[in-house]
Chain A
Amino acid sequence: MLLKILLSVLVNIVAQKFGGVWGAPIAGLLLGALLPGGAGTAATVAAPVAAGGLLGAAALNGAPLTEFAARLAGNFGLPAWAPMVAAVTLPALQAGGAAGAVGALKGLLKPPAVGVPAPK
């Protein structure tokens, strides 16, 4: 599972970096199609990690993200943490949902296992 999550984080980072709002669901679709099972869980965990990683990279470059998030939230009477939490939660829902749906579809399309008749 750890390997799956690591792969999912990588896919999410690339997809979210270049796909904008569509990045997380695209990553979810890809992971759902590629992973043999547990894609939904892996994507749900990986997407916020990726989003957080991208924001963290910006913060490491000196961007005052938390201070700005507080000002942004202040415009709408929200708590200071709300924008940051929303920024990482949404990709989780998008990616996890997409991966889970594709995973389930794969399962449904897979022919039912045919049992070997027992010798009489």
Chain B
Amino acid sequence: MSRTRQLVTGALALVTGAGSTWVASQGVGALPPVGKLLDPTSGVWTAVTAVDLPVDANASIVGLAGPVEIRYDQRSVPHIFATTSLDAFRALGFVVARDRLFQIELQTRAGEGTLTELVGPLALSADQQTRRLGMPRAAERRFAALDTASDTYRALVAYADGVNAYRASLGAADRPIEYKLLNATPREYKPVHAFHLFNRMGFTLAHDPLELDYLRAKALVGDAAAKGLLELDSPVQEPIQPMPRAEPRTLPFVQAPPGAPDTLAVRLLASLTPRGRSTASPLHWAGAESLELREQRAFASNNWAVAPGKSTTGHALLAGDPHLELTLPSIWYEVHLVVPGELEVGGVTIPGLPGVTIGYTPRFAWSFTNTGADVMDFWRETVDNDAAPTKYELDGALVPFEDIRVETYRSATGVVLGVDTIRFTHRGPVSREGSQWLSMRWTVLEATSEITSFLQAVRAPSARAFLDSMARYYKAPAQNMIAADTFGTIAIRSTGRYPIRADSGRGLEILDGRTRRADWIGDWPVTWYPQAENPAQGFLASANQAPIDPAVPRPYLGVDRHYEIWRALQINRLLRAKEKVSPDDMRAFHTDPSSVRADRLVPYFLAAAQSRVAAGDTSASLARAAALLGQWDRRYTRENTGARLFETAFSRSRALTLDELIPAGKSERSTTSSEAWQLALLADSANAWWDDKRTTDRRESRDEILAKALAGAYDTLRVQFGAPDSVPWTWGTLSPARVLHLLRLPGFSVDTLAINGGRGTLNPSAGSSYGSNFGASWRMVVELSAPLRVRAVYPGGQSGNPGSPRYTDRLAMWADGQLDSVRTPRSPQELAPSDVRATLRLTPATAGAR
């Protein structure tokens, strides 16, 4: 070979070898380091080569006071047996990290506003919203205010020690697959991260601010109609605090007709509208997200309890059914902690937060639903310098902002992606909304001892003591807390901080920030909270409905748009229908496919179709749609073929009815009503809201609108899915539940899960064309016997590893509405050897030994 040829060959080989190694180890541009990723020994394949827990394992944690034994049962639930509570929290941090390390980091970063540092610029708008809401500042201040000698502080540090001990034990090959895909390294978990995560839960459970909705409605239909639309109490009352009656109460429906636009509102709205692309901000909370998606995402948690006298077992029964975004891995991780004489608690924890959020002790069990109270207000601020304000006007003087933070957003490699200056008044964060400066006050930012509440309340001796302990410490986000105990008590209380507005004010107007007179003037005392204990009816239930009947005199708590009535009607109907309720009835209720919503609404559509046909309407679509809807038994079973038509028809009827709320030049309405409002309107056939303003030559009746919606829905679905005679519109196929991976990776998600349930049932977990994937995140039925009998399930599995069979091993059971038996051993020996899947022994380590 000539030297020249040798030289060329050598150079080509060098370029090939060095280039491919560079690409393999470092990546190029958007291409990750594929060699590291696909390496046979330490790449992504480890996700399927090390899928189960080692049968016997040992590890050490610095600071552990004594040995801790952890036995995983066959459901992969770790039972932690420790000699001190702090050791139990260290072990808890370790075992949660062992299965969910990536989730801990992702969730805490979401609350901290540093997602870009893990996943890159695509998370910039989410981080901006988090920081502009003042969430990281609130978490840091809360953590800084903690007494370092307090139990809470020590528990947080212990939990962090456990997480970090596991993190430190990991080699590069052992890292969760998401880190490999992102070419990232797990970061240290710090105690303050728990506060970030708690804030994130507050954000998840918050509603869009109604101030903007009210303003939009006023700008389109005038003040009277806007008030009627958004200010009203729910037209059907089945409150959490039960009233002495055997059926729901219907309130008189008074709705002003759509009027002329309110010119002041038009001007204010214009001044608050951002120029250019719509991005999320405190007031424009939803950013560019569609109204339909937000409606589909509506909260749908349920809980209920039955007194011993109404229970087939003679013991109190409790059902928990919190609904959240369905993710893989699940938002929840199931655990059981035993510290003899100190602590005994089981249930579900949120990875990244010490403690059990929903669960049971040997004496009582508890669960939550979201209260939906209005705990967020806005003020228009007058500032000294519109371009770069340093002061704001307050009671006639210019006062400096309480705080000015410069927030820098960085990529994983430290590149600055953006910078924000966030100012804070005494009320809260200030944001630029269009040409205005608005400050915001939100109870979640002023929460104090919520983590303490969970650590303390699980030590209570009874259901009542649990609720009292929670009421002492827990402020936000407000929750309808239900509890039942082995003494036979059932109790519920909507616990949280509810502000009292000045001048009996309500929370719909953007207030004048120039005076303290517009500030909140206090909070509700606990005695005012919606609550009940051992009611005569023998049961209690909450399902995000209005917590208290307006007949009970209380200050403003919230508006109907933030509540939902259907599931409350449904639970109460199911519970009233049975003289005695068994634990298995409670289980079956979770996925009961019947629906008060369909029972109340469908007849209007059928009557409208009949009336239009009688009036000479010869539309074939209407006739076929009416026939199909008439055949439907109004149950959201997987196999039914009528629910899809009804849902589409109802959605279209709302769009046709509320056409007055579509701004000029837009195709989607800018605000909406509650469905309870729509129900009340259906009974008022002459209301002016039925008229379609887009047809100026005639005034439509209710029946015309409903028939038009029904026929239109039929035509739409026939185009989308084919004629129902040849391709039945099967609910489970067209509206499956969607359980998505945390990073929305389709290969690691399950989005075709046929289930019983739909909107208005207790299991509205069905996905939609809008991409919503909220649903039942943890189902639990507890019989308060001694010992407790607990059955539960959540969608997913204990492992966060998509390659593990433990990643989705509970999914089928969840989809079928079944529950698994929860083990509650009080010592390692109480867990039968055949039920032990793995054992982990934790021992104290000296600093530096790990």
Contacts and interface: CB of A to CB of B under 8 A. Distances in A.
B9 interface: yes
Contact of A72 (B13, B39, B172, B747): B747
Contact of A68 (B9, B35, B36, B47): B47
B748 A75 contact: yes
B42 interface: yes
A34 interface: no
Nearest to A50: B40
Interface size bucket, B side? Answer: 35 or more
B49 A58 contact: yes
B10 A108 contact: yes
Contacts of A20: 36, 39, 41-42, 172-173
Interface string B1-39: 101001101111111111111011100000001111011
B41 A61 contact: no
Given A58-B49, A71-B802, A90 B40 contact: no
B746 interface: yes
A40 B12 CA distance: 11
A21 interface: yes
B44 interface: yes
A50 B214 CA distance: 67
B45 interface: yes
A55 interface: yes
B17 A21 contact: no
Contact of A100 (B7, B10, B802): B10
B43 interface: yes
B40 A104 contact: no
B803 interface: yes
Contacts of A64: 48, 803
A82 to B, nearest CB: 10
A74 B747 CA distance: 5
A98 B16 CA distance: 8
B25 A21 contact: yes
A63 interface: yes
A75 B746 contact: yes
Contacts of B10: 100-101, 103-105, 107-108
Interface in A49-99: 51, 54-55, 58, 61, 63-65, 68, 70-75, 83, 86-87, 90-91, 93-99
B49 A97 contact: no
Contacts of B620: none
A18 B172 CA distance: 12
Contacts of A8: none
Contacts of A61: 49
A72 B48 CA distance: 12
B24 A94 contact: yes
Interface string B181-225: 100000000000000000000000000000000000000000000
Contact of A71 (B11, B24, B747): B747
B268 to A, nearest CB: 46
A21 B802 contact: no
B13 A40 contact: yes
Contact of B40 (A58, A98, A107): A58
Contacts of A24: 21, 35
B6 A94 contact: no
Nearest to A73: B747
Interface in B403-446: none
Contacts of A86: 34, 38
B288 interface: no
Contact of B1 (A71, A83, A107): A107
Contacts of B144: none
B21 A104 contact: no
A87 B13 contact: no
5 closest Cβ pairs, A-B complex: A97-B17, A104-B10, A100-B13, A74-B747, A97-B16
Given A21-B24, A94-B21, 12 more contacts: A16-B40, A22-B25, A23-B41, A25-B17, A51-B40, A54-B40, A93-B17, A96-B16, A98-B17, A99-B17, A108-B10, A112-B3
10 contacts: A17-B41, A20-B41, A21-B21, A58-B49, A71-B802, A74-B746, A74-B747, A94-B17, A94-B35, A101-B14
